[in-house]
Amino acid sequence: MIDPALHQGSSCDEDIINDIRNHKYDMVVYGRFRQGIPFYDIVKESYDPRDVIMISGEDQRESYFDEYLNAGHWVFVREL
């Protein structure tokens, strides 16, 4: 898990980007992805869509969920 403080334009960005490009992680999980999905463009280029998981605990279905479903990612939303 990457601490959000590490992807706020810090000097660690280059290391994280290299780790993503080198497929260091088996999969990438974005929790609370409405709050932002750092490095998504690089993740999308580097990982199979089925290795990217989006989790949302929002109270309602948002229209942008379909964008990630159509991209082939797993999208988990809270049941209402």
**Within a domain: residue 20?**
no
Please state, rounded to an integer, the average pLDDT across all residues of the chain. 83
Burial class (CB in 10 A: 0-12, 13-18, 19+), 24: exposed
**Within a domain: residue 2?**
no
**Within a domain: residue 43?**
yes
Q: Which structural domain range is residue 33 located in?
A: 26-80
- Residue 58's pLDDT is 73
**Within a domain: residue 5?**
no
**Within a domain: residue 64?**
yes
Among the listed residues 20, 60, 12, the one whose alpha carbon sits nearest the alpha carbon of residue 44 = 20
Higher pLDDT among residues 55 and 42, named by residue: 42
Distance from CA of residue 7 to its chain's centroid?
Answer: 12
18, two tokens: 């290299």
- Residue 12's pLDDT is 79
Question: Rounded to two decimals, what is the model's pTM?
Answer: 0.74
**Within a domain: residue 72?**
yes
The number of folded domains in the chain is: 1
**Within a domain: residue 1?**
no
